[in-house]
Amino acid sequence: MTPLIVLVGPMGVGKSTVGHLLAEHLGVGYRDTDDDIVAGTGRSIAEIFVDDGEPAFRALEKQAVRTALAEHEGVLALGGGAVLDAGTRALLAGQRVVYLSMDVEEAVRRTGLGAARPLLAVNPRKQWRELMEARRPLYEETATVVVATDGRTPEEVTRSTLDAL
């Protein structure tokens, strides 16, 4: 089994919203590795980050991605930082990976300057810029399709994604 579509992209880009819309259009299920980690550990993502640190989270995430790729046939959304791990990126080789992209200004508009996500706890615009610069090449390396979301509604992004497949 393998997912029809794997969604990657920064936090706040709309992976979950667009993922649900895609799943609905395609008549398949939606799955999210962040949700799998929370369900599997009984802890929140923030707790895991704070108590165990990011490397421990990335290891759990890699395992969650491996399991979901083996089990899920529908739309699979990954956490925004999943591509940071080389092992996770290797798991995605051969998959149909859609990178939902947004620029820094769109990110600031959508998430504000201090969202409830661990990596945005202290997040001025500069931090978003650094995060995007570090991750963009990894998203691009991993993706088979790139769909820009700037200034577009989830429905428009969903339509472009379906057209691009």
Which residues here bind ligand S3P, judged by CB under 6 A? 11, 15, 34, 45, 79-81, 117-119
Nearer to ligand S3P, 116 or 163 (CB): 116
- Asked whether the beta carbons of 89 and 142 are under 8 A apart, the reply is yes
- Asked whether the beta carbons of 62 and 85 are under 8 A apart, the reply is yes
Q: Is 88 annotated as a binding residue?
A: no
- Least Å distance, CB 9 to ligand S3P, is 7
Nearer to ligand S3P, 27 or 39 (CB): 39
Q: Is 12 annotated as a binding residue?
A: yes
Nearer to ligand S3P, 8 or 158 (CB): 8
Return all residues near 7 (Cβ < 8 A) that are at least 6 apart: 15, 18, 19, 22, 75, 76, 77, 78, 97, 98, 100
- Least Å distance, CB 105 to ligand S3P, is 18
Nearer to ligand S3P, 27 or 80 (CB): 80
Distance, CA of 132 to CA of 18 (rounded, Å): 20
Distance, CA of 73 to CA of 125 (rounded, Å): 37
Mapping DSSP to helix (H, G, I), strand (E, B) and coil, where does residue 99 land? strand
Q: Is 14 annotated as a binding residue?
A: yes
Q: Can you say which residues are annotated as belonging to the binding site for ATP?
A: 12-17, 117, 152
